């Protein structure tokens, strides 16, 4: 696994950040919008959003005095790539197991 994906996995490691991602997948939100869904300070929510942004999973756009947080679908590419590697790993292992079972049954 190469290092550029580490901020993405760090961002996904926290359940609160995963909940924030689910909310942002439904609609773009300000920090205040997100804060309204959690029992934590606005500063704490801002830290979570910063980690998500650093991980490439969200984008932040300034609109006047507000900062609009949006999901960044391309930011999930390192995660998908990581899972695809293991998908192929298991395909190979299960295929070998199937061949061994079929060979033993003949």
Read off the pLDDT of residues 68-86 as tens digits, 9 standing for 90 and up: 999 999 999 988 888 888 7
Read off the pLDDT of residues 8-37 as tens digits, 9 standing for 90 and up: 999 999 999 999 999 999 999 999 999 999
At 4, the pLDDT band (50, 70, 90 cuts) reads low
What is the CATH code for 3-104? 1.10.10.10
- Euclidean distance between CA atoms 76 and 57, whole angstroms: 6
When comparing pLDDT for 22 and 4, which is higher? Answer: 22
Q: What is the DSSP letter of 55?
A: T
């Amino acid at each position: 696994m190469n290092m550029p994906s580490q901020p993405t996995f760090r961002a996904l490691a926290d359940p609160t950040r995963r909940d924030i991602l689910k909310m942002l997948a439904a609609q773009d939100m300000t920090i205040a919008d997100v804060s309204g869904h959690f029992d934590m300070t606005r500063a704490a929510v801002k830290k979570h959003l910063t980690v998500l942004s650093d991980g490439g999973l969200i984008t932040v756009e300034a609109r006047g005095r507000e900062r609009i947080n949006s999901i960044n679908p391309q930011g999930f590419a390192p995660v998908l790539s990581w899972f695809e590697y293991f998908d192929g790993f298991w395909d190979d292992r299960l295929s070998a197991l199937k061949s061994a079972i079929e060979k033993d049954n003949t």
